[in-house]
Amino acid sequence: SGRQCTRSAPTSGVQDQAPPTDSHPSAAFLGGLGEGPPRGTGPGWAGEGLGASGKNQHVCHAAARLEMGSLWEEFNRLGTEMIVTKAGRRMFPTFQVKLSGLDPLADYVLLMDFVPLDDKRYRYAFHSSSWLAAGRADPAAPGRVHFHPDSPAKGAQWMRQIVSFDKLKLTNNLLDDNGHIILNSMHRYQPRFHVVFVDPRRDSERFAHQNFKSFSFPETQFMAVTAYQNHRITQLKIASNPFAKGFRDGDPEP
């Protein structure tokens, strides 16, 4: 199970840094902290990236396609904003991917983390309908990961259906004890998606850097906000979110 892929891989921007570890039992399969801004990927399928030739054969052929890509692109053109609240708010659009290239019989853990896109804090200029840098970023919020609740599962199960991170919530509460992703409001973030092979070898920690593959889709970048700043984002959220039906009908949010 320790064989590696040896063929050279094109650079598609898939990041090769390990996601942060967490208190989840699967943390043993992860490497060290991932640092720095992610490299971009092209739209559609994200395939092999830098360093894929040194990856375990169970992950080096993994590919992920972002679902609802056209909707993400529509938001991205306007400058996507995601609400963060003290109690935690789900993302819309929901981060969903279709996976291929996994070993159907191997076990995998799927998880997400969020990395700052830069070291700036922003403010919204209403007169120009644009975001402006407003100084240095606030101290980084605690780095957390969100494990898909079905983890671990066989590759066949993950590839059988669309993988949806609809339970993931974003918060600005630095003291959150619900396991939500903690972000600073008015800062820009890139979601990252990680596929981690559950290595059955007793000394699997030695191979942690080989046993995962990461994907970043640039169209999913967003600004964390406590209230929508761009009215066009508000309109698009209401128009495209089935759970916002109450706003369209003039009724309270369900």
* Domains of the chain, first to last: 57-244 (2.60.40.820)
Is residue 94 within 8 Å of 164, Cβ to Cβ? yes
**What tokens were used for 117?**
């896109």
Q: What pTM was computed for the model?
A: 0.82
Is residue 117 within 8 Å of 188, Cβ to Cβ? yes
pLDDT of residue 34: 41
Average pLDDT value for the chain: 83
DSSP code for 61? T
**What tokens were used for 235?**
């309109």
Q: What is the pLDDT of residues 78-123, one digit of tens each?
A: 999 999 999 999 999 999 999 999 999 999 999 999 999 999 999 9
